[in-house]
Amino acid sequence: MLRAGLRAQESSMIRNPRATSGDHRVEPNWDERLTLTVGQEKGDIVGKTDKAIQAAVDMVARLGGGTVKIAPGTYQFRNCVWLSSRVRLVGSGAETVLVKSPSNSTKLIEDSDWYDQEVTLADARGFQVGDGICLETKNPHNGGRDVFKGTLVARSGNRFKLNKPLRQNFWLTGGAKLSTLFPLLTSEFTEDVAIENLALDGNAKNNELLDGNYAGCIFLQDCNRYKIRNVEARNYNGDGISWQVCHDVVVENCYSHDHANLGLHPGSGSQRPVIRNNRVERNWIGIFFCWGVKYGLAENNKAIDNRDFGISIGHNDTDNVVRNNLIQGSGKVGVLFRDESGGKDFFPNRNTIENNRILNSGPADGVAIDIQGKTRDISIVKNEIRELREPMHRTGIRISKHAGPVTLATNRIEGFSVAISDQRTA
């Protein structure tokens, strides 16, 4: 806190900032930076694929940041676009559509060791130099799953060079296979980026599954201060928008729907996410707080008809506020506090659920709010929790017998067989 205070004090003392070599923290607020346009018929860069957009992003990044504007049209992606720091990627609204190509998959026919930078495919038909790929195998030592994401950069027949060396063993004994699976937009270790006014289509029916720890319409890893606004993310065979160990990410006014897995996925270790004014519909889970997500805010969202849970909060996800949301038609539970056993205190403690509307949750034995495990210090206040169908065996709020203190205040709970099931007092 002292260090942050000193930084703020130093910044407030600067009345006329100047551009200084190596100082990225304090810089003038320039009226204009480079803007490049990408279009299918005209623009600074003309093209209909990921390559045109990537070229524009790289050019703007090389000159210190700026804006890439994408004209209306459908752009076919055989690889992800890698975003760079201080770049704003902006489309023309719903008319700018980035579509993932259908995936191909084949087994390896030669072992590749952890230091190799090439693979040999059983069937190379449909694969091209420049394709984004995912390698998967069973770890030969511990039986776990190993995953490598990269790009094919050279070939001779069915042998392909990778853009970077392997750091796991992809052996035939582990059933190693290669697939053209990748996120549409991605980045690692970058900051101060905006993604706006785009439609992203994962083409789920023509692609294999790749989960949100590795991909999605948007997938970010170890990034800071991203703003994702007015983006439609749809039909990915995995997650819609996923960010892992990323801090101060803002996702607002987005529509994330019809994904195999998670609509919005603030991932492990992400601090201070802001999830506001979004619609998340017909996913497995609407909003999924992963591991160690803290000091987040989810407000004014609509989580509707998600197949299992509207909002799920779990392993060490603490000090988050979920307020003013509509959570409706969840397949199992409206808001789930997961049972995260295995450690001293891995539970989703000190979270607030306030002023939400939670309607029609689950099947005949569904639950609107389910507080599992040893979760403690939860506040459930001023919510409208209603079942508009038959009561059946449905429960408004269920509290585990192992749970710690839970504050329930001024909630409106109607239409359930059991309004509150507090198993601590059973």
DSSP 32-93: --EEEEEESSSSSEE-SBHHHHHHHHHHHHHTT-EEEEE-SEEEEESSPEEP-TTEEEE--G
How buried is 306 (Cβ within 10 angstroms: 0-12 exposed, 13-18 middle, 19+ buried)? Answer: buried
pLDDT, position 21: 86
If asked whether residues 244 and 256 sit together in one domain, one would say yes
Shared domain check, 364 and 318: yes
Predicted local distance difference test score (pLDDT) of residue 1:
47
Give residue 124's domain range: 105-179
Average pLDDT over the chain reads 95
**43 and 141 together in one domain:** no
The burial of 92, by beta-carbon neighbours within 10 Å (0-12 exposed, 13-18 middle, 19 or more buried), is given as middle
Last residue within a domain, chosen from 133, 159, 179: 179
Q: Is residue 192 part of a domain?
A: yes
Domain co-membership, 91 together with 122: no
For the cut 60, the answer to whether the pLDDT of residue 131 exceeds it is: yes
177 SS3 class: strand
Cα 277 from Cα 35, distance rounded (Å):
28
Within a domain: residue 93? yes
What's residue 341's pLDDT?
80
Read off the amino acid at residue 79. Answer: N
Above 70 in pLDDT, residue 42?
Answer: yes
SS3 234: strand
Mean pLDDT over 132-138 rounds to 97
* Count of alpha carbons within 13 angstroms of residue 252, beta-carbon side: 13
The total of structural domains in the chain comes to 2
Q: Is the pLDDT of residue 27 over 90?
A: no
The region, left, alpha or beta by phi > 0 then psi within -120 to 50, assigned to residue 86 is left
Say yes or no: 252 and 286 in one domain: yes
Q: Domain check: are 79 and 147 in the same one?
A: no
- Whole-angstrom CA distances from 292 to 40, 126, 241, 323 are 43, 40, 18, 20
pLDDT for 12: 63
Question: Mean per-residue pLDDT for 82-107?
Answer: 98
Q: Is the confidence at residue 300, as pLDDT, over 80?
A: yes
CA distance 146 to 133: 14
Same domain, 134 and 239: no
pLDDT higher than threshold 80 for residue 426: no
Give the pLDDT band (50/70/90) at residue 11. low
In a domain, 22, yes or no: no
CATH of the domain at 403: 2.160.20.10
CATH number for the domain harbouring residue 166:
2.40.30
Say if residue 274 is in the same domain as residue 354: yes
- E-state strands within 309-356: 309-313, 321-323, 326-328, 333-337, 352-354
Residue at which a domain ends, from 134, 162, 179: 179
Can you tell me the distance from the alpha carbon of 417 to that of 426, in angstroms, rounded to the nearest whole number?
17
**Residue 2, pLDDT above cutoff 50:** no
Instruction: Report how far apart, in Å, the C-alpha atoms of 347 and of each of 148, 272, 372 are.
Output: 31, 18, 9
What does the radius of gyration of the chain's CA atoms come to, in whole angstroms?
23
Report how far apart, in Å, the C-alpha atoms of 335 and of each of 55, 153, 331 are.
Answer: 43, 45, 11
CA distance 395 to 381: 17
Collapse the DSSP code of 412 into the 3-class scheme (helix H, G, I; strand E, B; otherwise coil) and give the result: strand
